[in-house]
Amino acid sequence: MKVKPYLKILAEKGGSDLYFSTGAPPSAKFNGVMTPLGKDSAPPGWVNALAQEIMNEKQRADAY
């Protein structure tokens, strides 16, 4: 899964924050209200894979 579709939704709908947590659906805050962006919960490892996707090599090395 890529982060860009979530960023696009956030930008198009004027959201302020994205939330990714294992066991919960990806969510965003719109006008101060947390809103799920789907029905499927993030499976184990998915949030880590998403983070790895957006970090550069130095950030990855610093994270571990």
Q: Which pLDDT score is estimated for 29?
A: 97
What's the DSSP call for residue 45? Answer: T
The answer to whether position 51 is within a domain reads: yes
Q: Which pLDDT score is estimated for 47?
A: 93
* Full-model pTM: 0.80
Walking along the chain (64 residues) 10 residues at a time, the average pLDDT comes out as 87 95 96 94 93 91 85
Q: Which pLDDT score is estimated for 2?
A: 85
The answer to whether position 62 is within a domain reads: no
Q: Which pLDDT score is estimated for 1?
A: 56
Any residues with CB less than 8 A from the CB of 33 and at least 6 apart, and which?
Answer: none
The answer to whether position 35 is within a domain reads: yes
Q: What total of structural domains would you count in the chain?
A: 1
Q: Residue 30's domain spans which residues? A: 4-57
Q: What CATH number is given to the structural domain containing 42?
A: 3.30.450.90
